[in-house]
Structure 1
């Protein structure tokens, strides 16, 4: 099915129900947060009631996005919606388990994703791995449905695209991306204010964590890697969300083709990995090999510890690819 046909099918489905739940992946990033908020507003313009559910809190740097107070945090959809006939729209996930929410298996699911590792787990599925962000897909839905791009919607979508394109540096960024954000700016999004909120409003704990992580930096030919342990995070007073973006400092090193950041998961003997590439290596395939996924140049997965074993496993795969 072509993308326009998939969009039309989604809009027809939106118009046929009065109530929806919207969710995205656990440990939400900018694309997840901005997209769920914008989609909720889109649905309300179509006359629907939409509840936004997330398993984990929104990161501090997205705290100023309009409509944030509409997000409800829970561990199960049953806490909000006992009617199992209510459709749930799942954004940016390769499966229902990625949301961290229980009870989704009892609801009809609509799946909207842009990852190369995306899977068809819903009764309606729209996966566009060429989209720079899920927010770009929500924008297309809004345009096709002829709803108003309000300043609040424009702000949420712009912030999502800004963050998910690595500030317009990833290979998914093209002329269409800039045309899209130009339109969002013309509808009320403030690029300067959003950039200040996202990049210049970090808690001090994030900077302390960055220093600790960079002190562990290792380089070997075209590879760079570093890590942070739970003990080190406690020492600097950091939270898991403070780890976002650390890997980008590694991939920025001249001569480095791929980089990985390992974060110890508290009380789990596991490490969460953020993997980056400058394009030569498809890190999505490597992440999928370990049960994760993502994009060609930006992916992630989880590996069992200890740290030395996890590091050797990921580096062996990266070396093979290079």
Structure 2
């Protein structure tokens, strides 16, 4: 399905229905939150009813986004005509119980995604792996529908694009990305104010956690990695949201081509799992690495979860990343 045909069909779906449920992935980031709110603002402009819900709390960084006060953290009691799921390769990725989601009995499910790991699991699927962010897809939909982009919508979309491209540095950033950003600024988005909120409003806990992560860092050839425990999180006074972006410091090291940040997650039975954020440069495909380990994402930015203990989880991801690096592959084939 082309983007043009997908947008045309989505316009028909929106026109035919009145009530919408909007959600995105667990542990929401800027693209998930900003785009969900932008869809809400779009539907508001059409006189539609919508509910935005996330399974997890909204990070403090994004609490100033227009409309964020309308976000709830539970599935609606009344069945929506359409459930819109953004940036998820399955219902499970939302963090909501799939059985509870099914019991909500939405009339239809719409899946909008731009990840390499995107899957056709819904009644309607629009997956554009060339899009720099799912927000760019909603931007194109808004223009096609002839809906004026308000300051509120522009702020949400700009925040989403800024964060999902890592400040316009990821491989998916194109000339059209900057044209999109320029138009959103013309529509009222404040680039300086948004950047200040996203990148220069860090908590003390995040900076202390960053210190622990960098102290624990190890490098072997082209691969860098670090791990933080729950005890280190507590000692730093850090929240889960404070882990966002830590891995970018590792991939920013000269000579490092792939990096992993592991965060310990203690389960009720005292087992330890590790939530991984993966980054890479150039042609190294960490999305494929993540998919092989049960996760997914973009070529240069992905994630997954591994079972412990720590040394086993670390050994698995380091071996996988080293195997993905060209120099290591050349050595193996020699």
Return 5+ residue gaps in structure 1 as ranges: none
Quick one: distance in 2 between partners of 1:32 and 1:16? 25
Residue 93 of structure 1: aligned partner: 88
Superposition map of 1:273-288 within 5 A: 273-288=276-291
Determine the C-alpha separation between the residues in 1 that align with 2:22 and 2:94.
11
| Alignment partner, residue 188 of structure 2 | 188
Q: How many Å separate the matches in 2 of 1:59 and 1:161?
A: 17
User: What is the CA–CA distance in structure 1 between the aligned matches of 2:39 and 2:77, rounded to whole Å?
Assistant: 18
Instruction: Give 1:266 deviation, angstroms.
Output: 2.6
TM-score (norm 1): 0.97
Equivalent residues in 2 for 1:68-83, closer than 5 Å: 68-74=68-74, 77=75, 80-83=76-79
* CA distance, structure 2, for counterparts of residue 117 and residue 266 of structure 1: 27
In 2: Cα distance, 1:319 partner to 1:273 partner: 16
Say whether the 8 Å CA contact 1:14–1:46 is kept in structure 2. no
User: Deviation digits for residues 278-311 of structure 1, max 9, x if unmatched?
Assistant: 1231000000001100000000000000110000
Q: Using the alignment, how far apart are the partners of 1:280 and 1:210 within structure 2? A: 27
1:59 to partner: Cα distance = 0.8
Runs of 4+ with >3 A deviation: none
SS of 2:7 mapped into structure 1: helix
Paired residue for 2:328? Answer: none
Aligned to 1:271: 274
Aligned residues: 317
Residue matched to 2:330? none
CA RMSD of aligned residues (A): 0.9
How far did residue 15 of structure 1 move?
0.8
What is the TM-score when the length of structure 2 is the normalising length?
0.93
SS in 2 for 1:101: coil
| Structure-2 separation of matches of 1:139 and 1:248 | 27
Any residues of structure 2 matched to 1:295-314 within 5 Å, and which? 295-314=298-317
- Deviation track 1:71-117 (CA, whole Å, cap 9, x = no partner) reads 0112xx2xx2332x621100000100100113223432100000000
Change (3 A) 1:144 1:81: farther
CA distance in 1, matches of 2:162, 2:146: 24
